[in-house]
Amino acid sequence: MQREQTNVIMKTKKESQAMKMAALQIQKNEALPPSHQYKKSTSTIVTEVNKLCDSNISPKMAATHVRKGLIDTLPLKRGPGRRLPAAVYNTLKGAYSTYLMLEQAESKKQLTTKDMAQRVNTCVNHASHSLTRDDLTGKIRRDTADLRPFQCCNVGKANMAEQQRLQWTTHYNLDLWFTTWKSTLVGLVFGRE
């Protein structure tokens, strides 16, 4: 699930960069005189940008961006606006991701989605913003999929096998394991010291 969300985020970033590039090239193209030999159609420019960026933007959308004056800017997001300012939301995403990585590094039992939602709401309310629903945690979790380097770093069930492995890997256990392995290899003449 996290890989899919990461792919969606990366594709969205790629499409945004392609839209910026196409709008800039369309604006430069429109500035050329009508009889100029290098003047291209909007469709041709968008097709070239799509090939270059491996994206799938439409010529109509790119032309609309140019008409609205959204040159060299990222496209506007769909849907209603956020209830939190962008700077607060981005800071909250960073804090959320860091908290999960620290929690995983300590190999403690990870919080459930409900507990994490309560913590996120407490953090938002402490910053003097209005109370938010539990879906804010889901949105943050979806938007931070590309920020979390560990695939098992998510809210939900604890990874018991990982916790047991971490508890077992003490210096004594590792030394015992490899000493036994060495003596077995030497005793069966698969190796020598």
- 41-72 pLDDT per residue, tens: 888 888 988 888 888 888 888 888 888 887 76
Retrieve residue 143's tokens: 């938007």
Tell me the mean pLDDT in the region 82-108: 78
For residue 77, the model assigns a pLDDT of: 64
Residue 107 has pLDDT above 80, yes or no: no
Nearest to 163 by CA among 151, 152, 178, 149: 152
Q: Give the lowest-confidence range in 54-68, 85-99, 141-155.
A: 141-155
Beta strands (DSSP E) in the chain are none
Tell me the mean pLDDT in the region 3-28: 82
Check: CB of residue 41 under 8 Å from CB of residue 25.
Answer: no
User: In this predicted model, which residue has the larger pLDDT, 155 or 12?
Assistant: 12
User: In this predicted model, which residue has the larger pLDDT, 75 or 86?
Assistant: 86
- 153-183 pLDDT per residue, tens: 444 455 667 777 777 778 887 888 888 888 9
Grade residue 81 by pLDDT with cuts at 50, 70 and 90.
low
Residue at token pair 């077992």: 168
Mean pLDDT score of the chain, rounded to an integer? 78
For residue 136, the model assigns a pLDDT of: 80
CA 62 to chain centre: 25
Residue 142 DSSP label: H
Question: What is the sign of the dihedral through the CA atoms of 83, 86, 87 and 92?
Answer: positive
Check: CB of residue 49 under 8 Å from CB of residue 25.
Answer: yes
Quick one: which H or E segment has residue 50? helix 42-53
